[in-house]
Amino acid sequence: MSRIAKKPIALPKGVELKIQDGTVATKGPKGNLSMAMPSGVELKVEDGQAVLSPVTAEDMAITGTMRSVIANMVQGVSEGFQRKLELVGVGYRAAMQGQDLNLSLGFSHPVLFKPPAGITITTPSQTEVLVAGADKQQVGEVAAKIRGFRPPEPYKGKGVKYAGENIIRKEAKKA
């Protein structure tokens, strides 16, 4: 049985959780998020906590999944999520051009990336990119798209990598 599903979700001050017409909606200082609720899961809000329970024993797995997703929604609208990327390589630079991210990644042309709604991108330095937003899945997806323009290569480690990511290096060809 899932132990995660039994753990209640604490609702911080300023965060509202509403259930109506099969959807769960969260509202907080960082924005609004909503998603469809599966039919096998019941959600109750009482005493500043949200408690999920399965309708039948077979619904325990989806209840644990929904608990994690709703906890991420609550954290997203209260604190938000961010992902940091680093550019490694000679001449690799990032700069904001209005709302768009302008990347120089060793190609013959600059790479322009337009962030989707709800995502903010900042460049604290020329070799760092911060992707922030309320939706954890969307923040990770945008960071993966930016990393996908030039993933780190295994010989010199050049490319766009996540902060703290360990690149497994290969040995070069020997004569």
- Give pLDDT tens digits for 108-132: 999 999 999 999 999 999 999 999 9
- The Cα 71–Cα 9 span in angstroms is 6
Residue 131 belongs to a domain with what CATH number?
3.90.930.12
In a domain, residue 173? The reply is no
Q: Which amino acid is present at 148?
A: G
Instruction: Tell me, yes or no, whether 101 and 71 share the same domain.
Output: no
Domain that holds residue 60: 9-78
Domain end marker among 26, 45, 78 = 78
Residues 146 and 86 occupy one common structural domain: yes
Do residue 30 and residue 49 come from a single domain?
Answer: yes
Q: Which residues pair with 36 in a beta bridge?
A: 23
Domain boundary, last residue among 78, 108, 133: 78
User: DSSP character for 113?
Assistant: E
Residue appearing with tokens 């990511």: 165
Number of domains in the chain: 2
Predicted confidence (pLDDT) per residue in 10-67, tens digit: 999 999 999 988 899 999 999 999 999 998 899 999 888 999 999 998 888 899 999 9
Domain boundary among 59, 78, 97: 78
Q: Which residues pair with 162 in a beta bridge?
A: 85
Residues 99, 133, single domain; the answer is yes
Q: Are 30 and 76 in contact (CB under 8 A)?
A: yes
Write down the pTM of the prediction. 0.89
